[in-house]
Structure 1
């Protein structure tokens, strides 16, 4: 029978184990996907460890919000797809029940999109979460335009890397923020126009220097915590800050008396909206076709080595590149 990764208690990577389960027949409007590869995301670690903001029912919980594969079966009333079509998962809102850490998963047909031509399986498994989040935050929420100076906090992470590529594709100017000077060259190579290292520079002063004294038009904060106060000072009056991450577990002071528009953003805000998903898909397809958008893959593991893949994630040595598991 097909294999699936489950966990019966919260804890470290060792709580995960592979079991065999029968395939689930798709209901009306659903598809069954034969998974070829999936990416390991920080949300997976939070669910597995019991620190996810969403409730994860135990035992026998599943993982995985991202992956790629082919349509294996269609439920009744499912249109626009055929068995054998290569797809990527565009939304897995209930990963604890039908996550992508499996040989098969069944979900609504509206939650898959065609796999962009030109992407290999490992890249396709790693593109949707980071790029849809960065696109949704910058384009849909902040209305990023050509020429905008975009300050990216958490620029070394997966969403930060995607945000730099998306800004460049539109013609905006991505400015990366990092805590370590040693990461400057890597961030410049990943598409940043300029890099500000907070271990040697004041963020607001450096941003004014890179923007002719104006400040950033858009701030993408993937970190949160007390450091957000420095980002607010770096934005121009009338600019926009989008808080889309949670890398710093410390409380984030509530912005007060700021001349900015401040948004909180979570990717499912848009990935469950079919109209926005169509725009996201068109943008990704164009970016892949032009060579502007390309996910960076760090290491690839086999399904039997999924515990080791999570151990690698927890070491934090992947530098924002994606960890992929092939099935």
Structure 2
């Protein structure tokens, strides 16, 4: 028996319950871990509220990221033994493999031996953010040394991961944020420049930063009215990778900019990297190397105990955090 977080209906954070359930052993090809820390993601709030790309089956578990200790190894699994410290690459289904619990089971290919110096809290904050940013910037956009990359929602965990990845390869990360409140923190986190959306003219500021050639790569989690000035400041043949859609306002299609500059507007889900074993292997190698050499350092906004999972989700939805929210067990 073990405690898990489940919900029996869609709604706000208050629908989350801690319940005690049986813990079946891992199936063939799976590994069960004793969870020590969880990394929270906006996808979990979307599943809970009924607006995620996956459909909950009630009562539903949830959660995409965990770190802990190998408890039981299923049949046909090699390379893991009980007692090892591991972290989890987010599975494609959190309904099938939920992370929020004292014990959690995952396919062995998603279990990773991370650098031991990370600790469980940092390890639980690694894979979603760095895989998402790597897949967009390196795998898809081919971001190169010296190039300017625009990163919106820059104070999110993925935004901060993108800043670190850009710096690791010698690119120039320009952070976009709603106001100047987080400017100093973003600069300290490695942003080369910070633009406050509500206080500055996006197009003119980007032209100042990138020059008349424009910006080739934009990594956007927001959408909304900013599409127009963002694409206006892009270089011919540039690519805007959209992975979020956080804006409550409609997102206009910038037809004139797209046509005149032959821009690529590309939707992106991290699942396309996770589902592809070759792409995932390259991403894991880059991330593990960055963690080992210190270029990639998870930034944790706040840590909550397991018993305060409702409060943790309320903080997740406040949009005030700077970095990753972690829950410890």
Q: So what's the TM-score if we normalise by structure 2?
A: 0.94
Q: State whether residues 175 and 191 of structure 2, in contact with CA within 8 Å, keep that contact through their aligned partners in structure 1.
A: yes
What displacement does 1:68 show? 0.8
What displacement does 1:255 show? 4.6
- Equivalent position of 1:273 in the other structure: 276
What displacement does 1:234 show? 1.3
Instruction: Show the 5 A alignment for 1:254-293.
Output: 254-256=253-255, 257=259, 258-293=261-296
What displacement does 1:49 show? 1.6
1:81 aligned onto 2:80: yes
Instruction: Show the 5 A alignment for 1:124-273.
Output: 124-256=123-255, 257=259, 258-273=261-276
Which stretch of the first structure deviates more once superposed, 100-109 or 132-141? 100-109
CA distance in structure 2 between the aligned counterparts of 1:94 and 1:252, rounded to whole angstroms: 28
Moved over 3 A (4+): none
- Equivalent position of 1:302 in the other structure: 305
What displacement does 1:21 show? 1.5
CA distance in structure 2 between the aligned counterparts of 1:117 and 1:14, rounded to whole angstroms: 35
Deviations 1:108-154 (A, max 9, x none): 11122222332111111111111110111100010111111101111
What displacement does 1:261 show? 2.3
1:313 aligned onto 2:316: yes
Deviations 1:226-257 (A, max 9, x none): 32121111111122211111211333233531
- Equivalent position of 2:327 in the other structure: 325
Q: State whether residues 221 and 228 of structure 1, in contact with CA within 8 Å, keep that contact through their aligned partners in structure 2.
A: no
Cα RMSD, aligned residues only: 1.5
C-alpha distance 112-272 of structure 1, shift in aligned 2 (>3 A): farther
- Equivalent position of 1:2 in the other structure: 2
CA distance in structure 2 between the aligned counterparts of 1:197 and 1:302, rounded to whole angstroms: 33
Structure 2: which 5+ runs fail to align?
A: none
Q: State whether residues 24 and 32 of structure 1, in contact with CA within 8 Å, keep that contact through their aligned partners in structure 2.
A: no
Which stretch of the first structure deviates more once superposed, 119-128 or 203-212? 203-212
Structure 1: which 5+ runs fail to align?
A: none
Deviations 1:12-58 (A, max 9, x none): 21211111112221121111121111012111111112222321122
- Equivalent position of 2:108 in the other structure: 109
Q: State whether residues 92 and 274 of structure 2, in contact with CA within 8 Å, keep that contact through their aligned partners in structure 1.
A: no
Deviations 1:73-124 (A, max 9, x none): 1111112222222221112222123211001112211122222332111111
1:16 aligned onto 2:16: yes
- Equivalent position of 1:30 in the other structure: 30
SS of 1:118's equivalent in the other structure is helix
CA distance in structure 2 between the aligned counterparts of 1:94 and 1:50, rounded to whole angstroms: 15
What displacement does 1:302 show? 1.4
SS of 1:239's equivalent in the other structure is strand
SS of 2:112's equivalent in the other structure is strand
Q: So what's the TM-score if we normalise by structure 1?
A: 0.95
Q: State whether residues 40 and 326 of structure 2, in contact with CA within 8 Å, keep that contact through their aligned partners in structure 1.
A: yes
Q: State whether residues 220 and 244 of structure 2, in contact with CA within 8 Å, keep that contact through their aligned partners in structure 1.
A: yes
SS of 2:250's equivalent in the other structure is coil
Q: State whether residues 117 and 285 of structure 1, in contact with CA within 8 Å, keep that contact through their aligned partners in structure 2.
A: no
Which stretch of the first structure deviates more once superposed, 249-258 or 20-29? 249-258
CA distance in structure 2 between the aligned counterparts of 1:298 and 1:111, rounded to whole angstroms: 25
CA distance in structure 2 between the aligned counterparts of 1:179 and 1:297, rounded to whole angstroms: 20
